Each structure stands twice: as structure tokens, then as C-alpha cells.
């Protein structure tokens, strides 16, 4: 009679669905606790470890990369300035 009123052909099995949903929820929470946190801030103990970007070697490498990038950018700007000045006042 209920299926005729609501239009559902079969009832949802709550005795099966809700425990599976609870186990899935617990598994997702457990996975979130042990998943690596990446390169951001340290996770709270006992799960976290020192982020890679905070190591002295990585800091030095990042500084070298930044300086090299700035040098390339300044060289490109200087090349554009030289080309523009030659286009405005060509020297022979």
C-alpha cells in the first residue's frame, strides 16, 4: 500500500545503508588524519612532519631560483629597452 502511494517500487534498506554510511564516514576521517599535508604548514602531532619548503636546503634553492628569475626578467627588459631605443634613434 505504501509503494502505491509514494510511487517507489522498493523500500530503501536502512539496516544496510546506514551502517555502511557510518563505516564510510569513519574511513574518510581516518584517511584525513594520515593523508600527507603537502608543502604547507605542519600538521598537528603525531601526524605531521616538517614541511619540505622549510628546510634550509630548500630555502636556499628557492632563493637561487628567485634570483635567477629576476636576472632573466631584468635581461629581457633591458633587451626590449635596447630594441626600442634603436627603433626610435637608429645608429649607423
Greatest alpha-carbon span in the chain:
100
> Quick one: which of 3, 22, 19 has its CA closest to 11?
3
What does pTM read for this prediction? 0.45
pLDDT tens-place string over residues 74-84: 999 999 999 99
pLDDT at 9 over 90: no
Which of 25, 53, 51 lies closest to 37 in space, CA to CA?
A: 51
pLDDT tens per residue, range 13-57: 788 889 999 999 999 998 888 776 665 666 666 666 666 777 889
> Whole-angstrom Cα distance, residue 25 to residue 32?
11
Cell of 43: 600538521
Task: Give the pLDDT confidence score for residue 73 in this predicted structure.
Answer: 97
Higher pLDDT, 14 or 10: 14
Higher pLDDT, 27 or 1: 27
Instruction: For residue 79, report the phi and psi dihedrals to the nearest 5 degrees.
Output: -65, -40
Q: What is the DSSP letter of 12?
A: -
Give the pLDDT confidence score for residue 2 in this predicted structure: 53
Amino acid at each position: 500500500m505504501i509503494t502505491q502511494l509514494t510511487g517507489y517500487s522498493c523500500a530503501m534498506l536502512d539496516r544496510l545503508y546506514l551502517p555502511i554510511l557510518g563505516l564510510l564516514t569513519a574511513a574518510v576521517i581516518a584517511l584525513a588524519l594520515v593523508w600527507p599535508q603537502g608543502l604547507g604548514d605542519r600538521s598537528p602531532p603525531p601526524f605531521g612532519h616538517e614541511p619540505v619548503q622549510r628546510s634550509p636546503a630548500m630555502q636556499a634553492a628557492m632563493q637561487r631560483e628567485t634570483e635567477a628569475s629576476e636576472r632573466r626578467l631584468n635581461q629581457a627588459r633591458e633587451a626590449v629597452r635596447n630594441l626600442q631605443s634603436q627603433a626610435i634613434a637608429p645608429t649607423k
